[in-house]
Structure 1
């Protein structure tokens, strides 16, 4: 009896295994989307760097002791704001001395002019010689020249006194104070602080020279540019997955006058309003330049494109409910869509989620559809 029960169990197990083998491997649940043909913006992507439009190294134009710093490090300042004060006492004394010399020589010049006129009237009556009159006129002219030199000396002394107050030449944000109060500074010897203009601001980037004709063809238009923070560095191939944060909108404002013969690229700069200071000098950005529109482009969801050892590929769902791995060539892409230059055709169905469990020939079940469905 025991032997009969054992044989029955073995038979039941064999039947279950045979039924499961007959059904084949379980279908992998996936989500899919169709490949489409539509008009898309013609984009050029590159990694760029944020840089200030103006960056000023503030230096002293007079020598002396630095008495006071009038701002905090990192503070935003406006053009004309007082930044530093140099000890003005030596320059105030020099101004008073120059003004005294001017007053003295002014009196001498008036006396010399009066004497010259008097002798010029007397020479007509032959009371003095012609030589005496000419000498008096020469002395008067020399006194006038001395007076002009004194005027220049007063203006120079007044200017040096004004230089004791160092004011911001631009509106921007200050960096670290490099010289503290109490130190003695020399003329143009030491950088006191660096000021960067942040609004508006540049993002500079380089594109291949083959893109130059497209850009120049729309040179009179204000080409739109998007900038989005990235973990990549200039020279690397931009990738949508490296982008983070919100994109800032600007426009192309500068095209360099020569192609870099070493890299074969051309330098461009885009200007951004940067009203919220989201762009900061030194940051790397993924820059997207729109140069036109590509009509009837083949477009697939960006998440459908996978990267393997052989390059980019996508899983295409066939009519029998299985998938094939199809190599693709991507012309451009963003975080949502990829323009396919080669490998996919409009109307084909590609897998957008669940690729990790797939292999060529695997059966799929579209989420929300029947097992093995290809649509």
Structure 2
């Protein structure tokens, strides 16, 4: 009897041991899988940044640099952009437009895109790069200063290329000014001046620059891949100008990374938090189309040319404003596939941990916190 009870106890103990071992194995296995997933996520977010020496070598190759294009007639029967690169495409109001109206909206919005790039190049990038030069020299290297100088020269040429393209498309509209849609309000100009003046200690604009320059490369890539769209094939000259622009920008984004690491990462932590707050505010404003913004001006110009749409003005404009909360539109503007270097830099900055509240496509894994 006693031996039987002892045997039962031993069998029960062995069964309990097996249960504990199985449970322990499951716990360890789950932990291993989480760790492996975190490592996989980290590997997916690793991007290769070109060295300054490599950037200089590429810049020395004319085939990999933006070249000036001879003026060429623009085909007004063709779209200038893929439809999904326009704002109205993501609104219910787009269905109100017939083929002719969609085509004209596409062309007008493309001119606005060119103006936006021009504004970025001359009114934003150039003054900011000029302001951070001293900090780049102090915390970077002579090679970085050289790359910065070359970048500034190239940006000036980009401005002229897009200005010439817009004049080819709409000679009358651009006869007296390079800006038809991008008319900055006084407070916007004041904000730009303040940002430029304080760029040495508030270089958060560098985060904006790399995101915008990567987006311009993404636009050129989308144009090259567009092929036959619902509105027809893209105008070849418009496509060529954006393709050439992307050549320089493909180098510039790597210079941007070196600048961020020299000018932002070397700031004291409190100053980095200040820069992060300012960056979040700027991006919140940038990703929210407004009723009196440049996108709305494009729509209102369309209504001038197609007065039969005038009765739908309120619906079209309200649709644009609603894009601030539209997931598809927000993901089309900035995302990790489109902006890999920018998002990698955001990952490196602890003060940008809540960036996903502003950029809807930005997610940071728990392993990054």
Range class of TM-score, shorter chain: under 0.3
Q: Which has the higher contact order (CA 8 A, sep 6+)?
A: 1
Structure richer in strand, relative to its length:
1
TM-score (norm 2): 0.20
Structure richer in helix, relative to its length:
2
Larger Rg: 1
TM-score (norm 1): 0.19
